[in-house]
Structure 1
Amino acid sequence: MNQQASALVTAADISRLAGVTRATVSNWRRRHPDFPAPAGGTDTSPTYDLDAVRAWLSARGRLPEDTPADELRTALRTHPGDGELALRLLPAVLAAARLDRRGREALPGLRDDALLRWIRSAADAVADDIPGVESATYSADVTGPLRALVRCVSVDGAEAATGVLTERLLEDTGATGTYVTPRPLADLMARLLADSTGAYPVSVLDPACGTGSLLAAAASAGATELHGQDVLVTRAAQAAVRLRLSTPEAAISVRTGDSLRSDAFKGLTADAVLCNPPYGVREWGHEDLAYDQRWAYGVPPKGEPELAWVQHSLAHLAPRGRAVLLMPPAVAERTAGRRIRAQLVRDGALRAVVSLPQGAATPLHVGLHLWVLERPDPQAEAPGTVLLVDASASGNRDLDRAAIDDTVLSAWRPYLADQDGFTGTPGIAGAVPITDLLNEAVDLTPARHIRTASRQALRPALLARQASELYDQLHRAARDLTGLSADGDWPPADDRPRDWRTATVADLLRGGALALLRTAPAGRRTRSGQPRPQPDPELGGRSALTAADVTKNRPASGTEADLPTGVALPVIQESDVLLTEVLRVGNTAVARVAEPGEAGCFLGPHLLLFRPDRRRLDPWFLAGFLAAEQNVNAAATGTSVIRVDPRRLRVPLLPLAEQQRYGAAFRRLHELRTAARRADEAAEDVTRLLSTGLTGGALLPHGHGSA
């Protein structure tokens, strides 16, 4: 009890404890004079007494019932040296996950001495699998956090328990320049490794693996031998545990150390490499590695660490083996690196450069590049072109990941299959001759070549016809928007806003007023890592409605690849209410009612489906209040990525007739929002096309003669 009384928590801990965003915690601090005063920390990063915070939250009904994950967070926070303890507890997650259900459920009930014997034995058994735990010790003071951990694994699952430990480990690393690769981007990078026949490399190396997101994507795509190295022991340990949990049949080797200064895989020849190298780290060992044999394309200057990672990756590849690296855009044009870039192009080692939109990965304000490299085969003729793809405009509207993937893969796959016959897409993708790249600057920025080359490919008559068609679409969208926005007379309530009695979704579920369905996270392959040999009979060719489909109010676009295997898949019915479950800071949740044409589609990941009893709840009324900003904020957890806890959402208790009046209003707002989006997209499309035509010389201004 003494330890718990003196425990200190951060604002991030409070947001997780209360299930709100960090912005909400900041508002509480500013607006409530009785909010607990800081008990430690600094002015910019204060800490608070845990008991005082819990008492304050409880007094205001803001303290939800602790889940096993919450209990584990508290147990770690109240333990001295919690970051080091989180690392030592990782073997317990892996060992508990390997037990059958009965064995896992029995662990929390073990006596202290028996629980300690179990963890010591378990740590010995997996010590070779997890870096940094070889000499871990376990004394009686760890039994509380350990018991909370095994309870979390038993109830919430091993991945949830690993996530809680990861939170603590990431807070204690203090490392800069390294970022988690978002899963959609990791999947895209992994898909670029497949050859033109669809065959996938067996062995994949990530020399800066972090917590293992790129290797996990490679395993999902088909790789069965995974090799990773990271300079931070805590990240390498997390990667080892996560990979063994998600791909237990794969051969996994994760090691620690600086890959450039101390390569843990010397002599390894891998089929492929995936890497998101550290960002902007200048002290990478330039002086110590000046004569390293890996620099086959030139010694990287001190200010070009990314070109060191490029050559490190190529050195680990078999001939014709491929590497995909996520790179800062400046690497494509900095003067200091032009000699190495020229040699990579000249030798045929650089196969493609893809520019991504801002927000595709951290740092979010930078439009990063993907470099696709291939170790040259000395027996083969060097290719004469490099594929350049400008995907920076793809997905700019709400960062449409599907549009980014389509832009990149629809260029890469045809180019890979037939480089000589590849024609490209004007303004987006092209096979640029290496002679055009080997100028004084050796600038590999896609836009500077693709947009210049596309001018010659413009066809004036076709462009004029396309412009006319887009203008017609814009006029129709504008008429629809004008009609929907004609009546703006919304009467005010009385002197004060209405105050409703509300019920939580959890209450409504218990009362049978609605049902809640969801689908497990996306796109799993079979445990062997291979694609399904045959389509799942249950799918029957049906589409899946994705979170992006709901956000953009478009028809279902998901396929079988977007759905997990081995689980029951919810099927959408007409009048189901759909709510996006995951959103980023600054975005709002979107809810709408399923249309008749969507009935029979499968529910995609990251969507919540509420099926109301139509005799008690109006669907559009439910959709409107579920997605209310204040409602979502009160039921959300997380910081950069926010997840909605559906059971904590609240709904007013109103008669059905009144619900239907509100429902009609919410449906009208939905139609207005949809019309505005279509008009905006139509205006964007027509102005982009006209600008391209005018600046490329294919179109003439109004009133200009054709002579």
Structure 2
Amino acid sequence: MPTSSTLVTAAEISRLAGVTRATVSNWRRRHEDFPAPTGGSDSSPLYEVKAVREWLAGRGYTAETDPAEELRNLLRQGPSGGATASRLIPFVLAAVEAGAEQRATWSGLPDAALAEQASAAVSTTLAAVEAPEPDAGPDVYGPDAAELLRAVTACVDSELTSGGTGASTLDALAQRELTDSKATGSYATPAPLPELMAALLAAVSDATAPTRVLDPACGSGSLLAAAATAGATELYGQDIAPVQARRAAVQLRIAAAGAHTSVRAGDSLRADAYPGLTVDGVLCAPPYGDRDWGHDELAYDSRWAFGVPSRMDSELAWVQHALAHVRPGGGAVLLMPPSPAFSGSGRRVRAELVRTGALRAVVELPGGLTTFTSVRLQLWVLQRPSPQPPEAQSVLFVDAQAAVMRAPEPTEPPKAVLTHWDAYAKAPDRFEAVPGVARAVPFVDLLDERVDLTPSRHVNSGTVVVPSEAAATATGLRNRLADAAQRLTASLTALGEPAPAGEEVRAWRTATVADLSRGGALATYTSAPFKQRTSRGLASTSTGAHVTAGSGKTAHFTNLMLKARDVATGARASEPAPDENLETAVRVSAGDILIPLVVQDRTGSGPVPFRVADEEDEGNLLGPHLRLFRPDPARLDPWFLGGFLSAGGNVRAAAVGSTTLRIDANQLRVPLLPLAEQRRYGKVFRHLYELRIAGTRAAELASQASDFMSGALATGALLPPEGPASP
């Protein structure tokens, strides 16, 4: 625990108390006994956390300790927080592997004894963590590090107790040093791309499951972890930021237990840490727009088998670096910005990639996948050419956003993309184009003066639309949109007019989820780790099972997973779960509340998605990255509970991160209200949920109808309605 010298900001006080920042400001103005600032500035004062907690406790506010927040506070105030954070990363691995009993013992040790035991524990784990610098020695901690060691131990213990892996602790430590170093380009690969990229790598390779995989710009190691889940047993990584290399090594040791891992620090293009390594596949999300990648000093490098990249095309240098490490027949999948697909300076390299058959597919991803750019990123799927001419004489282009929108049933981008890849891989020369979605373009049509590889240019050209089919599709979309609009209007009408709370915002006493769980009013669950898709779709699944759900009813259920995307969109479970998970998986019961554990914070103070399970959800499996809350119906109304648990301010007070939020569900707060009052709130929260789902569906259908009809009118497949033109 932090000492009394630990200082906190007003924003951190609001998270401690579970109130808004405005409430803290009111306390400062209205209460003379509110603790006086002991640091900071007039515009951003800092307060002693011990005094703040005592003040809050005296007014009935339970100041719950957020271990991750405490850790960040300590790192921020340290004189060399970033360097200290990096040294603590191996201790995260030691704490995870130590077990709950050992972590409890460490927390109670005197400073000197804790430092000594932590140093000994880390010395046994450093073999898995490459030193960030050639002359770096072992991480040995002194008594002055005891406070931070306790904070890391508490953070890891809290994560593991709530179903985490230690990743949030690693994030807090790595982010501290990245902030100090002002490192750029350190972005997480957005979910579900690691899974999709690993599946495409297995699909494009001539081996069904690549066992040796390299990521030369590995960041936190998420792509290598996905490769391990897909079957890789040897993982090699390199990153230019030493803290990222160290973080990835620890993360892989945790997430890919049993695999051989090697992670090095350094610039992969200028100082390749694995110059003689040949692997089955490469996964990589390289830096974008780097003009100082070593163009002049690497002009005669042997890796440029497809042409010397220009200074403006660092991404094409990474493509060739990846292929240089792959054995003939092996694959590579890279996450790329759109410019390398059409830049004039990269035309010669693109032409050679196409001519030799190295480029197998380009997938344009939906927009808004990442927090650092709004452009539509692309996946380049490549295969190291063998001496024989390529069997396929075409490149597959897929628009993943269109594939999802036009799928006959609700689906996720990975499944939609893999469906088209599988159809193409079986018979490249006979692949039937899907208008506006996917098309295989012959080499000869690509090798023009531009060699433009932008998917949208190709999937929307050269396709034939039957007018009668276009008219039927347009009518169907119009009818579905009209129905969705009626549902939206009905939801809005049922909501009614809200009443003001009075002169001041209503305040109430609250309890945390942890408090409610201890009191027996609530039980919480997370799913066991799920096996991922195989390279050719889903793992084999059984058709169903007779089970007893949380309600006590016994019935036959299909083994479908409710996933975070289903919760966000209001869709029904559609993806089967692998057989390996059926015995340990949590079954959903009607009345359960489902909330994602990780969300993208793009809505300011708005709520995060939640779902109250109904009878159709009964018996479905709890999918990954979801938290399930099962209330005692005699004490808690489920819609009341879901509405308050998912409230924006509540979530952000219990979350770690700034744009990507990892929610500590135990820290979420719920007002203590009589059941009758809960039901009043619950009724409105239910109407708001229905309004959100109806609005989302109507917006999706409006976009689909508009896009389809615009395209059909422009291509001559549809004509304007009969009758006089409107003025």
Structure 1 residues without counterparts, runs of 5 or longer? none
Question: 1 CA distance for matches of 2:225 and 2:473?
Answer: 43
Question: 2 CA distance for matches of 1:99 and 1:681?
Answer: 48
Match of 2:482 among 475, 478, 498: 475
Deviates more, 1:512-521 or 1:484-493: 484-493
Deviations 1:293-336 (A, max 9, x none): 11111111111111111111111111111101111101111111
Matches within 5 A, 1:104-183: 104-110=103-109, 112-132=111-131, 134-136=136-138, 137-153=140-156, 156-157=159-160, 159=166, 160-183=168-191
Match of 2:316 among 293, 307, 319: 307
Question: 2 CA distance for matches of 1:445 and 1:30?
Answer: 54
Deviations 1:173-195 (A, max 9, x none): 31113422124111111110113
Question: 1 CA distance for matches of 2:72 and 2:101?
Answer: 25
Deviates more, 1:412-421 or 1:605-614: 605-614
Amino acid at match of 2:55: A
Deviates more, 1:616-625 or 1:682-691: 616-625
Residue 686 of structure 2 corresponds to 667
Over the aligned positions, Cα root-mean-square deviation in angstroms equals 3.8
CA shift at 1:156, angstroms? 4.0
Residue 344 of structure 1 corresponds to 353
Matched residue SS, 1:226: strand
Tell me, yes or no, if the aligned pair for 1:524 and 1:565 is still in contact at 8 Å: no
1:600 aligns with 2:600: no
Question: 2 CA distance for matches of 1:35 and 1:390?
Answer: 57
CA shift at 1:693, angstroms? 1.1
CA shift at 1:244, angstroms? 0.9
Matched residue SS, 1:464: helix
1:260 aligns with 2:269: yes
Q: TM-score scaled by structure 2?
A: 0.84
1:546 aligns with 2:563: yes
1:374 aligns with 2:383: yes
Question: 1 CA distance for matches of 2:8 and 2:302?
Answer: 49
1:308–1:538 Cα change, 3 Å: farther
Deviates more, 1:688-697 or 1:604-613: 604-613
Tell me, yes or no, if the aligned pair for 1:94 and 1:241 is still in contact at 8 Å: yes
% of aligned pairs identical?
Answer: 44
Amino acid at match of 1:236: A
Tell me, yes or no, if the aligned pair for 1:185 and 1:360 is still in contact at 8 Å: no
1:87–1:392 Cα change, 3 Å: same
Deviations 1:543-599 (A, max 9, x none): 1212221222221124315x9959843222122233344322234223342211111
Residue 318 of structure 1 corresponds to 327
Residue 222 of structure 1 corresponds to 231
Q: TM-score scaled by structure 1?
A: 0.87
Matched residue SS, 2:128: coil
Deviations 1:234-258 (A, max 9, x none): 1111111111111121111111211
Question: 1 CA distance for matches of 2:676 and 2:601?
Answer: 36
Amino acid at match of 1:577: I
Tell me, yes or no, if the aligned pair for 1:632 and 1:644 is still in contact at 8 Å: yes
Question: 1 CA distance for matches of 2:309 and 2:360?
Answer: 20
CA shift at 1:227, angstroms? 0.7
Residue 578 of structure 1 corresponds to 594
Residue 81 of structure 1 corresponds to 80
1:460 aligns with 2:460: no
Deviates more, 1:57-66 or 1:315-324: 57-66
Question: 1 CA distance for matches of 2:471 and 2:541?
Answer: 46
1:126–1:26 Cα change, 3 Å: farther
Deviates more, 1:479-488 or 1:134-143: 479-488
Tell me, yes or no, if the aligned pair for 1:300 and 1:308 is still in contact at 8 Å: yes
CA shift at 1:441, angstroms? 1.1
Tell me, yes or no, if the aligned pair for 1:376 and 1:382 is still in contact at 8 Å: no
1:25–1:199 Cα change, 3 Å: farther
Amino acid at match of 1:481: L
Tell me, yes or no, if the aligned pair for 1:19 and 1:637 is still in contact at 8 Å: no
Residue 259 of structure 2 corresponds to 250
1:48–1:167 Cα change, 3 Å: farther
CA shift at 1:702, angstroms? 1.1
1:140–1:691 Cα change, 3 Å: same
Amino acid at match of 1:550: V
Question: 2 CA distance for matches of 1:676 and 1:121?
Answer: 57
Residue 640 of structure 1 corresponds to 659
Question: 2 CA distance for matches of 1:566 and 1:598?
Answer: 16
1:685 aligns with 2:704: yes
1:560 aligns with 2:577: yes
Tell me, yes or no, if the aligned pair for 1:86 and 1:165 is still in contact at 8 Å: yes
Residue 92 of structure 2 corresponds to 93
Question: 2 CA distance for matches of 1:362 and 1:643?
Answer: 15
Residue 188 of structure 1 corresponds to 196
Tell me, yes or no, if the aligned pair for 2:588 and 2:619 is still in contact at 8 Å: yes
Deviates more, 1:607-616 or 1:483-492: 483-492
Tell me, yes or no, if the aligned pair for 2:221 and 2:248 is still in contact at 8 Å: yes
Question: 2 CA distance for matches of 1:303 and 1:322?
Answer: 25
Matched residue SS, 2:203: coil
Tell me, yes or no, if the aligned pair for 2:610 and 2:642 is still in contact at 8 Å: yes
Question: 1 CA distance for matches of 2:26 and 2:394?
Answer: 59
Tell me, yes or no, if the aligned pair for 2:10 and 2:24 is still in contact at 8 Å: no
1:699 aligns with 2:712: no
Q: How many residue pairs end up in the alignment?
A: 689
Matched residue SS, 2:713: helix
Tell me, yes or no, if the aligned pair for 1:11 and 1:25 is still in contact at 8 Å: yes
Tell me, yes or no, if the aligned pair for 1:97 and 1:153 is still in contact at 8 Å: yes
Question: 2 CA distance for matches of 1:491 and 1:525?
Answer: 46
Question: 1 CA distance for matches of 2:82 and 2:502?
Answer: 53
Deviates more, 1:199-208 or 1:91-100: 91-100
1:617–1:9 Cα change, 3 Å: closer
CA shift at 1:169, angstroms? 2.8
Residue 412 of structure 1 corresponds to 421
Amino acid at match of 2:473: Q
Matched residue SS, 2:301: coil
Deviations 1:480-517 (A, max 9, x none): 33444446752635754684644324444344333333
Deviates more, 1:648-657 or 1:83-92: 648-657
1:517–1:53 Cα change, 3 Å: same
CA shift at 1:686, angstroms? 2.1
Residue 59 of structure 1 corresponds to 55
CA shift at 1:220, angstroms? 0.9
Residue 636 of structure 2 corresponds to 617
1:643–1:29 Cα change, 3 Å: farther
1:108–1:314 Cα change, 3 Å: same
Matched residue SS, 1:420: helix
1:75–1:690 Cα change, 3 Å: closer
Question: 1 CA distance for matches of 2:142 and 2:294?
Answer: 40
Question: 1 CA distance for matches of 2:505 and 2:403?
Answer: 43
Tell me, yes or no, if the aligned pair for 1:555 and 1:598 is still in contact at 8 Å: yes
1:73–1:653 Cα change, 3 Å: closer
1:63–1:229 Cα change, 3 Å: farther
Amino acid at match of 2:382: L
Question: 1 CA distance for matches of 2:10 and 2:290?
Answer: 29
1:223–1:376 Cα change, 3 Å: same
Deviations 1:428-469 (A, max 9, x none): 110011111111111111111211222xx2111111112222
Tell me, yes or no, if the aligned pair for 2:594 and 2:612 is still in contact at 8 Å: yes
Deviates more, 1:409-418 or 1:258-267: 409-418
Tell me, yes or no, if the aligned pair for 1:17 and 1:70 is still in contact at 8 Å: no
